[in-house]
Structure 1
């Protein structure tokens, strides 16, 4: 049986996140592998996979903040809001200057209301929005509140005459955002605010919570890739609560730790025994500490 843990993978362009999971299953010889959030085939970067019993930790990873590097092309709109779609409009954007672009970026930071791309994986009446859109059906998605804590333009490029892309402006950006934010929608909305349209031409996820792509393995090296042990992964996401051997036994048996809540720095948090093994995820219950999710010992090592 494969060892349980969190596997960080650097997804290349042109394959799906499910393809990465399938490769990991073959490489590690187990079917019990899940992921904490997909990337579109066009996108590259960090995927967080859970192996064996550590799949139970993925529920705490899915909602973490993320960081993306992206390229936005102003002056061209597509039906999918990214480079995989069909061009639906072109406008000369060469008149835009840096000050005007910065002025349009500002309202797209902070707590914002965002309509996801029509070609997203959001379900509408049990069907994926992208399936409905590809079938020619009218898809109306509701706006959702998201947080964009950073939307920085790192570079601004204007293709030279004769390149075949005159009139566009390419922006290299870095975005820190809450889970559920669509970078494609930011590109679309920035283009709309500037009156020229826009879409995403490149996207790379470089961080999910405490996990960074610099620690991720290539898809052709998954069999030898080191995993983050369950205790380390859970502590990185939730914080660490060290317990004695007796306390670990009590938690595993469903007992409360009377009066131990004062020792918690966060709730929920990861309870770790003296051997460095993840006991489970615990939470405050008044003055006590109670297990919210136990980890079987064979899944926690």
Structure 2
């Protein structure tokens, strides 16, 4: 049976609340807009909040194309204890004394600044990393230990915002590469400092070009439905980071049928976003003097500005 056309297609940024999974967000968006085809890019842990990019309708095809290579976080590290999950959701496994010098803002700021650079990072035991087809969190819940290999990640920026001596916490801003686990940063930093640590609060402040300012809350979305999505949807071309090329009326039929069109000065190998009347119609690539189809969207993705 053919899938019925979507009512509309768009990307929307949700400010995910704490206490729900990324899949829970998808389910609530489905109900709010009356569309079954909904997905998300860049999973957030249930306890985390902040930027979650959601695709609706044809825009679900974009989710695998979004690079979102850099992500930003406002994190609070709890010093003095490690947990099974490397955050406050897990059980405490070890504790350690927190030296008074680590609660000095100057000393803490220096330790945070030293995080900048490339690192070999082992993901948390409770993570979505797959080993031989099995998710690490499934094995961890079963009491089994999977050998997780270190991955090369980059911390582009790290800045201390606040030290709370009474709570023994550090609040910091992080700018990291795709695939970096903030929980692992806290775990490894705590071990290096000899005080142990875990994440007790986490907010994603940006994902690629999408920031908290672009987000709507789930309650706003549930109140406004599809109309709100149309008002607040993301520009898909801007999120993709591709140059845009508006189609002429003469090119529409050829593009709809996947026939190549004139490149009109586009450099060889360059990928471009073909737009039409405020919608993203396709992603094409320059091959010599012509543009050839990589992906077409039978129903244009709304929001091109």
Which residue of 144, 147, 165 maps to 1:140? 147
The whole-number CA distance in structure 1 between the counterparts of 2:89 and 2:209 is 30
Find the partner of 2:101 among 92, 95, 101: 95
Q: Tell which deviates more after alignment, 241-250 or 170-179.
A: 241-250
Query: TM-score under structure 1 normalisation?
Result: 0.88
Structure 1 pair 265/158, CA: closer, same or farther in 2 (3 Å)? farther
Gaps of 5+ in 2: 1-5
Q: CA deviation at 1:271?
A: 1.4
Per-residue displacement from partner, 1:217-242 (whole Å, max 9, x unpaired)? 22122241334788921333222322
- Give, in whole Å, the separation in 2 of the partners of 1:195 and 1:117: 19
Correspondent of 2:236 among 233, 237, 255: 233
**1:281-300 equivalences in 2 (<5 Å):** 281-296=283-298, 298-300=299-301
| CA deviations over 1:59-84 (Å, ceiling 9, x no partner) | 12254321111101122111211001
Between the aligned partners of 2:212 and 2:150, the Cα distance in structure 1 is 30
Q: Secondary structure at the residue paired with 2:239?
A: helix
CA deviation string 1:166-203 (max 9, x = no partner) = xxx31111111111110001111111111111100000
Q: Is the 8 A contact 2:12 2:233 kept in 1?
A: no
Structure 1: runs of 5+ lacking an equivalent: 160-164
Check the 8 A contact 1:77/1:199 in 2, yes or no: yes
Query: Displacement of 1:249 after TM fit?
Result: 3.4
Contact 2:245–2:275 under 8 Å retained in 1? yes
8 Å CA contact 2:51–2:211 kept in 1: the answer is yes
CA distance in structure 1 between the partners assigned to 2:121 and 2:50 by the alignment = 23
User: How far apart, in 1, do the equivalents of 2:149 and 2:293 lie?
Assistant: 37
Give the Cα–Cα distance (whole angstroms) in 2 for the partners of residues 269 and 172 of structure 1: 40
Q: What's the TM-score, normalizing by structure 2?
A: 0.87
Tell me whether 242-251 or 7-16 shows the greater mean CA deviation: 242-251
1:27-85 residue CA offsets vs partner (Å, 9 max, x unmatched): 11121101112111110111111001111111122543211111011221112110011
C-alpha distance in 1, partners of 2:231/2:300? 13
